[in-house]
Amino acid sequence: RSVITKMAETIASKRLSGRPFTAVVEGNIGSGKTTFLKHFSRYDNVAIFAEPIDMWRNCNGYNLLEYMYTDAKKWSFTFQSYVQLTMLRIHQKKIVQPIKLMERSVYSARFCFVEKMQRDGLMLPPSVSVIDEWFKYITSMEDTAVDLVVYLRTTPEVAYERILKRNRSEERTVPYDYIQALHEIHENWLYNKTLHTCPAPVIVLDADLDISVISEEYKRFEPHILNKIP
């Protein structure tokens, strides 16, 4: 049976169980996740969820993203706890469309960002274990199941250039080394598959391509996300 047939069957069974076909878009900071999501906004059978960065910038008036980059040792745990909660809420959002497309997930939060903070000693083992206890509980729910991971694969140089160019105020202190390390973590998680576990099959896109040609690359992968509707 073809991959498409199998995918169609998966979608049909997911619809019966009430959960939509769920694809999560992953990749380094600056890999173009937002642009990728925008590309799919033209399809009305897809519900799109951008990352809740505005919530991270304003948790009852506190800019946790800014705190995290300003004093990581003090605020990493606070920030990642809130990321985990806000991502969970998106995983749980009920939709009428048959397909859900999300920017990031509880998985990259734990396997990439908490991973990096732990390695750097910015999140201490007791804090990581609290995140992990929540993570185990959360990922045991059907709501957080994922059917496809879209990996926007960049070189760290290109991702870093884009970050500099967009000039997001909280990211002004992010050094190249951080992007390089996050790149390696994403690679080992989704490409080499030597770190943690993938929550679903992974498709890999060349996300280094310039914005002027990248929609062709997106188009190439559309069937994985769309044509599986029976």
In whole angstroms, how close is the CB of 12 to ligand DCP at the nearest point? Answer: 31
Query: For ligand DCP, which is the closer residue by CB, 72 or 99?
Result: 72
Identify the active-site residue in 9, 51, 66, 103. 103
In whole angstroms, how close is the CB of 53 to ligand DCP at the nearest point? Answer: 6
Query: For ligand DCP, which is the closer residue by CB, 46 or 152?
Result: 152
In whole angstroms, how close is the CB of 39 to ligand DCP at the nearest point? Answer: 12
> Which residue ranges make up the site for ligand DCP (CB under 6 A)?
27, 29-34, 51, 53, 65, 83, 104, 109, 113, 171
Query: For ligand DCP, which is the closer residue by CB, 11 or 185?
Result: 185
Query: For ligand DCP, which is the closer residue by CB, 83 or 123?
Result: 83
In whole angstroms, how close is the CB of 228 to ligand DCP at the nearest point? Answer: 24
In three state form, how does the secondary structure of the chain look?
CCHHHHHHHHHHHHHHHCCCEEEEEEECCCCCHHHHHHHHHHCCCEEEECCCHHHHHCECCECHHHHHHHCHHHHHHHHHHHHHHHHHHHHHCCCCCCEEEEECCHHHHHHHHHHHHHHCCCCCHHHHHHHHHHHHHHHCCHHHCCCEEEEEECCHHHHHHHHHHHCCHHHHHCCHHHHHHHHHHHHHHHHCCCCCCCCCCEEEEECCCCHHHHHHHHHHHHHHHCCCCC
170 an active-site residue? no
Q: So which residues are the catalytic ones?
A: 103
